Amino acid sequence: MLTLRGVRVEFGSTPALRGVDLKFERDRTTVLVGPSGCGKSTILRVLLGLATPSAGEATFDGAPVRRETIGAFRRRSGYVIQEGGLFPHLSARGNVTLLARHLRLAPDRIARRTDELCELTRFPEDALHRFPGELSGGQRQRVALMRALFLDPDVLLLDEPLAALDPLVRAELQDDLRAIFRARKKTVVLVTHDLSEAAFFGDRIVLLRDGAIVQSGTVRDLLDRPAEPFVSNFVRAQRRPLGGEA
Amino acid sequence: MSVFAIVLLAVAADVQVGSKKFTESVILGEIAAQVVRSEGVAATHRRELGGTRIVFEALRSGEIDAYVEYTGTLRAEIYAGKDARDDAALRMRLEEDGLVATRPLGFENTYALGLLADEAERLGVRRVSDLVAHPDLAFGFTNEFLDRGDGWPGLRARYALPQKNVRGLDHDLAYRALLSGDVLVTDLYTTDAEIREYALRTLEDDLRYFPAYEAIVLRRADLDPRAAAALERLEGTIGAEAMIAMNARAKVDGVPEARVASDFLRLSLGLETGAAEDSLAARLLARTLEHLALVGIALAASVAVGVPLGVLGSLRPALGAALLGVAGVVQTIPSLALLVLLIPLLGIGAMPAIAALFLYGLLPIVRGTLSGLWGIPRDLRDSARALGLEAGARLRLVEMPLASPSILAGVRTAAVISVGTATLGALIGAGGYGQPILTGIRLARTSLLVEGAVPAAALALAVERGLALLERRLVSRGLRLSSQGV
């Protein structure tokens, strides 16, 4: 569904991706994990045409991601970022329906789809008139998810969507998200720095460091067959709070 | 907008009579306008347009149709260095500029020596030559008169005046010095209101030293013949005594120039021009409309140009920086200088004033737009792009609404600057609240100053308040929430 071939990205003179090859299978959930600055968010940005590779290319459903084609790809994807990226001047409903209204979809169709999504994401309908500033962090992420899902995209690109939430809300949203991914047959790429979250969602986990892939496989592969000492260190560091190291 | 345009057009269709910014010129402009109206031709008096240069150029370019000038000024100032010595030569020069002069109105306004009438009686002086017999008299002259070659040095040589006690004084102080007896003789203009107020006698220039400054009406050659005929009725009707009396009524007694003029026309020409003075309310309304037209048109243009420029600048940071630089430089040009710089391009009146206000309004609006757009967090820009909105839709649906508080803050700043600066427009004939302020300064009358300054301040407050209300309507409530740090 999505591929990266030899993609290099530089920010100024600093390389963010050093020649990455990746394939994201249709209807599967892939989790990109790694320490901050490893380039995992940049991969999503390349797929959406928000960052331009200096070498290599990304493809979307077999077609290269280019300036001329990016508009169509973007409408077939949903993108959610850490703080939701909601537009503060629009109400929750305004955010969710912005693109649909711009594309002049029929109002009753928009209303029906909004109801559906409220149910799916368990967002209270009577809060739709509120502005992002009047919503809780968890509610904001649900609105961002509704906005991403509105046109029923094939692909969901989620950049640390739960990182800013407190643990209880986060656990609840994790369950809801996984249910949605499974029920809806989406190609999902999720970025997180949290290995347990990666294990929870991922059919496949890709571990990155310094703009390059260190290992790719199931969580079992990472635990049992680490490709290099960094993988074990990363796993150990993540498990420590659970008391595994004591 | 269309109301303003209609107002401007209506004004432009009348015969336009101009005047310079001193009382005598304003009275004469009023007389000329009223006498034209008495022939059934619509006429507007555009008072206090500026100095000689500005008013003459306005006449030559056709922005005004007539005004009262002095022959000496034409020779010494306008046609200096050209042959305009005798009347025929002067007429030729005027003809080349498409202008015609009436015959003299009847008085001269030139330099003269004057002293208290009582003193003159006591000393027995009537003519400048009589002063030769009194070598000990103290003279106090304005500094300009003292230094000019055609002032005191030439006068002393022509009449062989022996006086040694000669001091330089400020014009207003000279009258007080006369009253206190510190000086006995001073220079003055032959139609000064003070001549009547202080009971002065002007000495006859018996050796014809001072050049003739005969008052005439200058008009365009293509003026409506009925208006031209009306202006000719003024020839030879205004003597020096009458002019001095009129100056004194306006300047000392505080009678409005329009009434001084209509009284003169009734008494001397038997014309009932009925130029009753406008009521305060009518004046205020007219000034307010003029002021609003200046500010409204200029501000609308600043917004129409400044916001798109700001948007372009936000896309090209180099262009944005350049725009801020240029607009910043324009802002530093003093308003008066900018107005005068614009006169050769746009003439006098509302146009250059609007252009100047427009230029001043650009900087805050461009800056507000730029900083509003530049201040949008990358997350939000990316979200809008990732959503699949095209550039135009992103701008319209996301970026401009997010930048709107900053843009409107810029508009507010521009509006308040504009209301204040527009008062200077009166200096070049644009009208507005600056007009009574200007007249108040000329006549040293506080009530007139207040009549301009108070409404100007009130309008600035009202505009500020109105735009704040507009901001509440235009800016999403959601943005006010986030600015409170929710």
Per-residue pLDDT tens over the stretch A53-99: 999 899 988 888 888 888 888 989 999 988 878 999 999 999 999 99
Q: Quick check: B13 pLDDT over 80?
A: no
pLDDT at position A246: 37
Report the b/e string of B383-395 with b at 16+ CB within 10 A: bbbbbbbeeebbb
Q: How many CB atoms lie within 10 A of CB B226?
A: 13
In chain A the beta strands, taken as DSSP E runs, fall at 2-11, 14-24, 29-33, 55-60, 63-64, 77-80, 155-159, 187-192, 204-209, 212-217
Q: Which residues, 6 or more positions from A90, have their beta carbon under 8 angstroms from its beta carbon?
A: A98, A131, A132, B401, B476, B478
Q: Quick check: A235 pLDDT over 80?
A: yes
Average pLDDT, chain A: 88
The whole-angstrom distance between residue B91's C-alpha and the CA centroid of its chain comes to: 28
Instruction: Write the single-letter amino acid at B439.
Output: T
Classified as helix, coil or strand, A150 is coil
pLDDT (mean) for B14-31: 91
pLDDT at position B277: 61
Q: Quick check: B148 pLDDT over 80?
A: no
Token pair belonging to B147: 């230094």
Judged by CB atoms closer than 8 Å, whether chains meet at B482 and A88 is answered as yes
Instruction: Kindly report, residue by residue over B369-411, the tens digit of the pLDDT.
Output: 999 999 999 889 999 999 989 899 999 999 999 999 999 999 9
Q: How far apart are CA B141 and CA B143, in angstroms?
A: 6
Q: Which residues, 6 or more positions from A142, have their beta carbon under 8 angstroms from its beta carbon?
A: A121, A122, A123, A173
pLDDT at position A242: 54
pLDDT band (50, 70, 90) for residue B274: low
Number of separate helices (H) and strands (E) present in chain A: 9, 10
pLDDT (mean) for B251-273: 87
Q: Quick check: B424 pLDDT over 80?
A: yes
pLDDT (mean) for B50-60: 87
Alpha-helical (H) ranges within A150-228 are 167-184, 195-201, 219-224
pLDDT (mean) for B327-338: 85
Q: Which residue of A has its CA nearest to B403?
A: A89
Q: Which residue has the higher pLDDT, B50 or B46?
A: B46
pLDDT at position B2: 46
pLDDT at position A243: 52
Determine contact, residues A6/A13, Cβ cutoff 8 Å. no
Q: Quick check: B6 pLDDT over 70?
A: no
pLDDT at position B1: 43
CATH of B280-483, one of 3.50.30.50, 3.50.50.60, 1.10.10.10, 1.10.3720.10: 1.10.3720.10
The secondary element (H helix, E strand) that includes residue B169 is strand B166-169
Domain ranges of chain A: 1-76+155-165+186-246, 84-152
The secondary element (H helix, E strand) that includes residue B145 is helix B143-147
Q: Quick check: B101 pLDDT over 90?
A: yes
pLDDT band (50, 70, 90) for residue A126: very high
Q: Nearest Cβ partner of B481 from A71, A134, A147?
A: A134
ipTM: 0.89
Token pair belonging to B310: 């700001």
Judged by CB atoms closer than 8 Å, whether chains meet at B478 and A147 is answered as no
Nearest to B247 by CA among B194, B202, B203, B176: B194
Q: Quick check: B444 pLDDT over 80?
A: no
Give the closest-approach CA distance of B388 to chain A in angstroms: 5
pLDDT at position B334: 87
Judged by CB atoms closer than 8 Å, whether chains meet at A131 and B380 is answered as no
Q: What percent of chain B has pLDDT over 90?
A: 45
Determine contact, residues B379/B402, Cβ cutoff 8 Å. no
Specify the fold of B111-202: D-Maltodextrin-Binding Protein; domain 2 (3.40.190)
Q: What percent of chain A has pLDDT over 90?
A: 39
Which has the minimum average pLDDT: B45-54, B350-359, B407-416?
B45-54
Average pLDDT, chain B: 87
Give the closest-approach CA distance of A217 to chain B in angstroms: 28
Q: How far apart are CA B474 and CA B317, in angstroms?
A: 27
Which has the minimum average pLDDT: A60-74, A140-154, B5-19?
B5-19
Give the closest-approach CA distance of A177 to chain B in angstroms: 20
In what order do the strands lie in the sheet containing A29-33?
A77-80, A155-159, A187-192, A29-33, A204-209, A212-217
pLDDT at position B275: 56
Stretch(es) of chain B classified as CATH 3.40.190.10: 14-108+212-269
pLDDT band (50, 70, 90) for residue B98: very high
CATH number of A1-76+155-165+186-246: 3.40.50.300
Judged by CB atoms closer than 8 Å, whether chains meet at A89 and B478 is answered as yes
Which residues are paired to A212 by β-bridges?
A: A209
Judged by CB atoms closer than 8 Å, whether chains meet at B482 and A133 is answered as yes
Name every chain B residue with its beta carbon within 8 A of the beta carbon of A77. Answer: 386
pLDDT band (50, 70, 90) for residue B10: very low
Q: Which residues, 6 or more positions from B169, have their beta carbon under 8 angstroms from its beta carbon?
A: B140, B141, B142, B143, B177, B183, B186
pLDDT at position B485: 39
Which has the minimum average pLDDT: A106-120, A137-151, A168-182, B14-28?
A168-182
Which residues are paired to B66 by β-bridges?
A: B17, B219
Give the closest-approach CA distance of A198 to chain B in angstroms: 23
Token pair belonging to B2: 């269309």
pLDDT (mean) for B78-95: 87
Which has the minimum average pLDDT: A61-65, B127-131, B160-164, B364-368?
A61-65
Determine contact, residues B260/B388, Cβ cutoff 8 Å. no
Token pair belonging to B28: 């004469």
Give the closest-approach CA distance of A21 to chain B in angstroms: 22
CA dihedral B319, B399, B295, B280 (to 10 degrees): -160
Q: Quick check: B77 pLDDT over 90?
A: no
Residue written as token pair 């961002």: A144
Radius of gyration of chain A (CA): 18
Give the closest-approach CA distance of A99 to chain B in angstroms: 7
Q: How far apart are CA B426 and CA B424, in angstroms?
A: 5
Q: Which residue of B has its CA nearest to A44?
A: B386
Integer angstrom CA distances of residue B61 from A13, B345, B347, B375:
62, 11, 8, 48
pLDDT (mean) for B34-56: 88
Q: Quick check: A227 pLDDT over 90?
A: no
In what order do the strands lie in the sheet containing B15-20?
B43-50, B15-20, B66-70, B215-220, B99-101
The secondary element (H helix, E strand) that includes residue A145 is helix A137-149
10 Å CB burial of residue B258 (0-12, 13-18, 19+) is buried
pLDDT at position B276: 55
Q: Quick check: B412 pLDDT over 90?
A: yes
10 Å CB burial of residue A108 (0-12, 13-18, 19+) is exposed
Judged by CB atoms closer than 8 Å, whether chains meet at A131 and B387 is answered as no
Integer angstrom CA distances of residue B277 from A135, B16, B34, B44:
64, 19, 12, 14
DSSP states along B4-49? HHHHHHHHHHSEEEEEESSHHHHHHHHHHHHHHHTTT--EEEEEEE
Token pair belonging to B291: 């002021």
pLDDT at position B486: 35
Q: Which residue of B has its CA nearest to A91?
A: B478
pLDDT at position B358: 94
Judged by CB atoms closer than 8 Å, whether chains meet at B384 and A87 is answered as yes
Name every chain B residue with its beta carbon within 8 A of the beta carbon of A87. Answer: 380, 383-384, 398, 401-402
CATH class of B14-108+212-269: alpha beta
Instruction: Kindly report, residue by residue over A6-25, the tens digit of the pLDDT.
Output: 899 988 888 888 988 999 98
Q: How far apart are CA B78 and CA B51, in angstroms?
A: 12
Name every chain B residue with its beta carbon within 8 A of the beta carbon of A74. Answer: 385-388
pLDDT band (50, 70, 90) for residue B251: confident
Q: Which residue has the higher pLDDT, B151 or B403?
A: B403
Name every chain B residue with its beta carbon within 8 A of the beta carbon of A163. Answer: none
Which has the minimum average pLDDT: A117-131, B139-153, B311-325, B444-458?
B139-153
Integer angstrom CA distances of residue B62 from B13, B56, B231, B314, B341:
12, 10, 17, 43, 19
pLDDT at position A240: 66
pLDDT (mean) for B54-74: 91
